[in-house]
Amino acid sequence: MKIINQLNDKQREAVEFNTGPHMIVAGAGSGKTRVLMHKIAYLIDEKGFEPSDILALTFTNKAAKEMKERIKGLIGKKADQLWMGTFHSIFARILRVESEKLNYRPNFSIYDREDSQSLVSNIMSSLNINLENLTPNGVQHKISFMKNQMMSPEEYVKNVATTPADKKIGEIFIEYNNRLFENNAMDFDDLLLRPIELFKHHDKILKKYKKMFKYILVDEYQDTNKAQYELLKMLSPTRDKVCVVGDDAQSIYSWRGAEIKNMLNFKKDFKGSKIFRLEQNYRSTKMILTAADSVIKNNTGQIQKTLWTENNDGEELTVMRASDEKDEAFQIAKRIKKEIASRKLSLNDIAIFYRINSQSRALEDALRREKIPYKIVGGVEFYRRKEVKDVIAYLRMLSNQNDEESLLRIMNFPQRGIGNTSISKMILFARKLNISLFTTMSRVFEVIEVKERIQKNVKQFKQLLDKYIELKEKLSLGELTAALVDELGILKIYKEEGTQESLARYDNIQELIAAVQDFSKSNSGATLDDFLSEVSLIAGVDQYDEKVNSVTMMTIHSAKGLEFPVVFVTGCEEDIFPLSQKFDNESKLEEERRLFYVAVTRAKDKVFLTYARSRYRFGEVAYQSKSRFLDELDESTYEELNGTSGRKAGRKKKTFYDEYYQEGYDEYDQERRSLRVGSRVSHAVFGVGKILQITGVGDMQRVGIAFENHGIKQLLAKFANLKLI
């Protein structure tokens, strides 16, 4: 294949090797995706594999879609026959075919995290569990973690649950799995666990797929969890036609079950395997690579590799110190304007990363004030918005009448006079007779505790659902959705309400209808089940559109796999990044360090690292210390904007405040911030101090301040001329 000649020697060697299991250790920016797509094209065009022989597993739908399009550019339309997608989407596809072997119907619902939390909440309510330290969110997270460890509820109760709270979680876990089955539903974790169960108990089916998939490739192997690893081993046809690609330095998902040991132990697990190292970076400058390497080399658990690049030296990283989160955001907003002007950049060339979502608020405020357009990736995703989930719940009910969670969501939306008390009585009736809530609606007149007026409302609602269950076989997906939304009157309700929020909901539902129509046009013969599967597996990063000209804001976890000319990494402080000072083992600190490495290596040309001396957290001002990761940076790779410099140590730099004072920082900062207990302030006579107490209002407001060199003073705020620092 001539196109292989476009690869470098190491890339070409990895593509052409096919005589045993092999792992491609691909450093940041080393062309991992390029190698993977060329390998697939090479297997088809040069080695005689049919596209349908190849199973290629990725970690985002976006990556799978983009890779398939690029492969299509190499080998044409036959790339459409590839089994390529995320672990969850591929095995959901297999389960649709084989579900009856597990006593599920093919139209099973797929619950996202919010649906799972709702189910947990309903179970806790029905079991009358209301412990202070147990929340639906916490319990759902625990259940998901246990499932990722391939632990059954019974095993959890027997081997793990020791405290009263643990035993309650076990009780909920058992009921949770039962309810999923009754609802003909699976959660995300089940999409990996159920195929393992299927293959273990049905050898013929396992042999069928082992025969079908003659070559297996796994992207982002460092992020695989126990279940994904087990599936890879089960499906590997002869253990030699296996290629995994990853970077141990970018393993950042242990909190959702990812096990870096899958990568570190590959040679042991796949005997006779070969390791290829891709070490030439095509993305970043030499300065950025040196800085990233100087931090990540402090980790002990890693596969040794040395990234290098033929790119130019580039600029030093810039470390920016701020007084608090508002100052940090203000500095970033001003710096963005300067970068755009000096580098001739577009807004979508710039990204702002943060460790935790709560950091985004101050950043958004500053960007809005400076009139800088921005988009948040991984915030409230489109298909997770309330009004969109409401309509999707209706569509789920048309597909799967056992889906009790969806039915409960829409039973009284739009309002039809069916209150929670009546619903609870119907649920009790259903449980007593061991029938579904949907079936109970047909027999609501037998539920004598429910008032006659409400019984009529339930009957009318059931007739509406029955009507569209019948119509789904006669109308296209787009027609079905549009007709249903119109009859429900949801758009009319939101339009008549007339608020900014309701009009946004109106627009989102219109967009959903358009999305259904587009899906129907793009996927000939697609069913309602196909659409519901598609939207249930969409993640926030899948909706990232790099063509939209606005600054991108996201958590660092969401940023993996992306790249930008200019990157701001915010909140580089102990207890934020790294997230906690209380590391119960070294591996958690090492993962935080890998996360820092990922953040820095997203940048092509320039990196800004920011930290604040204080930050408003948990309802009070917290005094922050600089992140250890900044101290680990090679001193030759960065300069600090507030005066110190690594490479040019001792030479006074122009400060940010000098640079932008004329543009209004002081006025902005002092006008928009207010005095509060815990704030640090500066006084012309007494110097620096901390506010201990505030009494009175207006002209009579008094402030009690503990000054570092003058003790506690009581001052009238009006005349004290205090400056927040």
Closest CA to 682 of 622, 637, 634, 725: 725
Q: What is the DSSP string of 277-311?
A: EE-B-SSS-HHHHHHHHHHHTT-SSS-----B-SS
* Chain centre distance of CA 608: 23
Break the chain down into helix, strand, coil percent, rounded to 5: 55, 15, 30
Beta bridge partners of 187: 111
Round the CA-based radius of gyration of the chain to a whole number and report it.
Answer: 29
CA distance 233 to 426: 46
30 contacts 7 by C-beta, under 8 angstroms: no
Residue 395, Ramachandran bin (φ over 0: left; ψ between -120 and 50: alpha; else beta):
alpha
**Packing angle of the helix pair 500-522, 490-497 (nearest 10 deg):** 150
359 contacts 571 by C-beta, under 8 angstroms: yes
Give the strand pairing for 620-623 and 614-617. Answer: antiparallel
Beta bridge partners of 691: 705
Torsions phi, psi for 611 (to 5 deg):
-145, 155
- Could you tell me where the DSSP H helices lie in 577-624? 586-600
Q: How far is CA 488 from CA 398, 441, 483, 512, in A?
A: 14, 18, 9, 15
For residue 555, give the 3-state DSSP assignment. Answer: strand
Q: How far is CA 431 from CA 101, 452, 681, in A?
A: 26, 21, 63
**Packing angle of the helix pair 490-497, 386-399 (nearest 10 deg):** 170
How many H-runs (helices) and E-runs (strands) does the chain carry? 31, 22
Tell me how long the chain is.
725
Beta bridge partners of 690: 680, 706
CA distance 514 to 488: 17
CA distance 623 to 637: 27
CA distance 625 to 694: 26
Q: So which residues are the catalytic ones?
A: 32-33, 219-220, 250, 602
The DSSP call for residue 641 is T
What lies within 8 Å, CB to CB, of 38 at 6+ separation is 1, 3, 4, 7, 11, 15, 74
511 contacts 482 by C-beta, under 8 angstroms: no
Q: 382: which 2 tokens? A: 């489109």
What lies within 8 Å, CB to CB, of 511 at 6+ separation is 382
CA distance 478 to 717: 63
For residue 136, give the 3-state DSSP assignment. Answer: helix
Beta bridge partners of 317: 638
Q: 210: which 2 tokens? A: 């082992």
CA distance 425 to 410: 17
